[in-house]
Amino acid sequence: RDFNERCAQCSEVNWGLTDGGRFYCRSCHNVTERTREVVNTDFITNSRVQTISKGLKKQEKNDGGCEWYICEGFQLVLKKQVEALEALGVCPQMKDEILCNFWRCYLQKSKQAYCKRPAGETVKALSVCESSTDVDSDPERPSLLHLLSLSESEGDLQTDCSFASSVSKVSESTSVYSGSVDGSLYLMKNQKENLRMTMPMTLSFCYLALLWVREPITLSELLRFVIEGHIPYMNVFQHFPEKMKLCGLDLKIFCVESWPVYEEVFNKMHELAAFLDLPRFPDITESCFLHPDMLCMKYLMEANLPDELHNWTCRVVKKIGIGEVDFLTLMPGNKSTRKVKYDVLAAAVIIVVLKLLFLLDDHYEWLLSEFAEERNRNNTEVSMFYSGGRYFEFKKWYEVVKRSLDIKQKKLDEEKAKFLWRCEKPLFYSVKNKSKVLKRRQMVVNLQNQFGKLSGSVQRAEKPNPSSFQLSWSEENTDGSCFHGHSLKGILQEKCGLLRAMNPDYWLCTVKLCNEKLCGHLAHYKEVEFPQSYHFVLGLFSFLLRIQPSYIHDEVCMIEHRLFNKKLCKKLKYNTVLRK
């Protein structure tokens, strides 16, 4: 009744009050920026009523959006990713007990939440959380989204009005437009001390939590699930609420235009673990899925190799000590321990065993294959009741696996080429243009469907269920394409009660390792410098792990130097004496 100004749209004087204390016109529903002033001081029973009304006052903008911060956007991304992992069978405790605590610790150490604003850092600090937490006041929202409001003390996340207004003024004064409050400041800020959050780091958070609970998911599988679309990553911002308007630098932060890279996610994971000052992770024991013996068994099955090779991989793991708990367990911040890539390490162990038994020099493995083929033919002709396992033929295995690998690789390349990088959900930054954008998008979809029917193109099938195995082989096949039960008797001989390889020779990938800190690799890999058999085996595991062959080659060189350490030392000393 005390507000007698006319409405700017309909010129009527018929005002009502919203829940946030602002005036709105009952005739045309126009909401003004004017708020009702509290006259009765007896009503103010809480000294923090100004801080509470501040969030409600700035909750909605003229375009229907609301104030939000970059950290809130990453919270939504993490929430979607961890929910997808739970759907894949990950333990429910990983979300609220592990990942939630990691994220809370990160926000505190990066001074974005759970801390008091440092004096004199009004513009530099990003600890603007009170106004951002009031964006979604639904009490039933998931716990991960509720992180910023779960402070032990109510004062941790409080910021005064002057700080919020100063950040808004700095954002408005920048030449680059951003839908979020701190989008421009987020990229301008030099965060050498504070690890800046990025989209690949969301996967680092997930893998860090998976590693803590020792779930049977390797990093290569995690990234493969992302590429296959089972875990939200590409265009994940389309799941943001409509009130969170993305534009300008926000799209640069959340819009991803490339596939996640193994090395980047792996290195960020270790940087993140050190930044959070995490304690020693739970031990990786022999019964854990990430132990080399367990992973070697999985990759031998997927690579269609004989089961007897597992005994040899276990012997190599035990001899060089890479199955020890202290070697495998992650200890953040300990620079003396090596960063273990569990999946790559297991693949490298298998390759070293293949070199020990078959040499892989483009000559010896083919001779063994001819010998095994002749023995298999003789055994079949001599006795119809021959019950012994077939001898493993490297040549036939190569042909079967290469045929299947080429088909899978071609299919993968086609899927990557057909991938739609553009977001399926149309992005609109104004309520006025919403109907136009939706209508235009619906028109495009209808035209695509019509042209698809005319051209006879096949509609996109639904995503298949995720699987840990990309290549599957069944022993029930009568075409002999499964080699799991084949025998290695043709290439082994017994000495002193132990089975040893008939092959006494071995060639090293490199005699001297490089400094990994300087060039990023322990050894350099060029395809022309190595046998084709070795390159094929590297390519096979490179496809299974979706990683460059050079990184598997590094692990092979590391294992070889551990395995032949004494002989290498003697050889290096001998060469030094000859030079003198």
Quick check: 394 and 537 in contact, CB under 8 A? Answer: no
Distance CA 259, CA 233 (A): 9
| pLDDT of the residue at 468 | 86
Please, which residues bridge with residue 248 across strands? 178
Q: In what helix (H) or strand (E) does residue 157 lie, and over which residues does it extend?
A: none
* Angle CA 422–423–428, to nearest 5: 115
Rounded to 5 degrees, what are φ and ψ at 499? -80, 125
Neighbours of 567 (CB within 10 A): 11
Rounded to 5 degrees, what are φ and ψ at 15? -100, 150
Residue type, 182: D
Quick check: 222 and 44 in contact, CB under 8 A? Answer: no
Structure tokens at 336: 């003396």
Tell me, letter by letter, the H, E, C secondary structure of 268-292. Answer: HHHHHHHHCCCCCCCCCCCCCCCCH
Q: In what helix (H) or strand (E) does residue 309 lie, and over which residues does it extend?
A: helix 309-320
Structure tokens at 504: 């006494």
Reference 328, options 303, 294, 374; nearest CA is 294
Reference 67, options 140, 154, 172, 147; nearest CA is 172
Quick check: 311 and 297 in contact, CB under 8 A? Answer: no
Structure tokens at 490: 């043709």
Tell me, letter by letter, the H, E, C secondary structure of 463-510. Answer: CCCCCCCCCCCCCCCCCCCCCCCCECHHHEEEECCEEEECCCCCCCCC
Reference 168, options 57, 74, 267; nearest CA is 57
Rg (C-alpha) for the chain, rounded Å, is: 31
Where does residue 261 fall: left (phi above 0), alpha (psi -120 to 50 degrees), or beta otherwise?
Answer: beta
| pLDDT of the residue at 67 | 82
Those residues whose C-beta lies under 8 Å from the C-beta of residue 430, and which sit 6 or more positions away, are 63
**Overall residue count recorded for the chain in this entry:** 580
Those residues whose C-beta lies under 8 Å from the C-beta of residue 428, and which sit 6 or more positions away, are 434, 437, 438
Distance CA 74, CA 196 (A): 11
pLDDT truncated to tens, each residue of the chain (580 aa)?
667 788 877 778 888 877 667 777 877 767 776 766 554 444 444 433 333 333 333 445 555 568 888 899 999 999 999 999 999 999 988 998 999 999 999 998 988 887 775 333 433 443 333 333 333 333 333 344 444 433 333 333 333 333 334 444 444 444 355 678 887 777 776 555 568 899 999 999 999 999 999 999 999 999 999 999 899 998 888 888 878 877 777 888 888 888 999 999 999 999 999 999 999 999 999 999 999 999 999 999 999 999 999 999 999 999 999 999 999 999 998 887 889 999 999 999 999 999 999 999 999 999 999 999 998 888 776 554 444 578 999 999 999 999 999 999 999 998 888 887 777 766 665 556 667 777 787 887 788 777 777 766 555 556 778 888 888 887 766 666 889 989 998 788 877 777 788 888 899 888 777 776 656 677 878 888 899 999 999 999 999 999 999 999 999 999 999 998 766 655 544 444 334 4
In order of 132, 158, 459, 467, the CA distances from 299 in angstroms are 47, 52, 34, 14
Residue 346 buriedness (CB in 10 A; 0-12 / 13-18 / 19+):
buried
Longest dimension (CA), the chain: 109
DSSP 3-state assignment of 306? coil
Q: What DSSP state is assigned to residue 96?
A: I
Structure tokens at 346: 């297991």
Structure tokens at 242: 């409509």
Concatenate the DSSP letters of all residues of 355-400 into one string.
Answer: HHHH--SSSHHHHHHHHHHHHHHHHHHH-TT--SPPBP-HHHHHHH
| pLDDT of the residue at 193 | 55
Distance CA 307, CA 276 (A): 42
| pLDDT of the residue at 144 | 45
